[in-house]
Amino acid sequence: MDMRSQVNDALKTAMKNKDAARLSTLRLISAAIKDRDIAMRGTGDEAEVTDADVLAILGKMVKQRQESARAYEEGGRLELAEKERSEIVVIEEFLPKQLSDEETEAAVAEAISEVGADSIRDMGKVMGALKARFTGQMDFGKVGPMVKEKLG
């Protein structure tokens, strides 16, 4: 079952269960996917939004909510920070399991040897290989410095 179908099924279930908090988050996910559909149509690209696109959307949504929760906490708005965190929990249900630090390091080492990277100039190739295989499974903001350290 593709990601879009999983989100739609979860949306229907949340409606039946009258779970308002979950429902609103699922509607946000669905709207983000539809926005990507519309954006792709505007470029003349007739391709459908793929599961990889959906994973990228979900990853971006989680990151946005983490930043918002941090900002709300700093501003003393704990109830809003908690709402953001509850949305993160719902979104993460659709993301693959995050790799541990050890698994991430092993994936970075494998990608470096796979593309034959030997200097910092090859960082783009390594990151491209990692993004192709591990979208939604690792935080590329943390992986970038790790790759740079290994290549530098």
* CA atoms within 13 Å, Cβ hemisphere of 130: 29
pTM of the model: 0.73
Which residue has better confidence, 116 or 10?
10
**Predicted pLDDT of residue 45:** 61
**Predicted pLDDT of residue 46:** 64
**pLDDT tens, position by position, 61-94:** 998 999 999 999 999 999 999 999 999 999 989 9
**Predicted pLDDT of residue 135:** 75
DSSP state of 95: S
Name which of 47-51, 117-121, 147-151 the model is least confident about. Answer: 47-51
What domains can be seen in the chain, in order of their start residue? 3-92 (1.10.1510.10), 101-151 (1.10.10.410)
19 dihedral zone (left: phi>0; alpha: psi -120 to 50; beta): beta
Question: Residue 152: pLDDT above 80?
Answer: no
Structure confidence at residue 99 as a pLDDT band (50, 70, 90): confident
**Predicted pLDDT of residue 83:** 95
**pLDDT tens, position by position, 14-69:** 999 999 999 999 999 999 999 998 888 877 666 778 888 888 899 899 989 999 99
Give which of 65, 54, 69, 66 is closest to 136, Cα–Cα: 54
| Three-state secondary-structure class, residue 45 | coil
Question: Residue 105: pLDDT above 80?
Answer: yes
Which residue has better confidence, 122 or 73?
73
Helices 78-92 and 20-42 pack at an angle, to 10 degrees, of 70
Which residue has better confidence, 55 or 152?
55
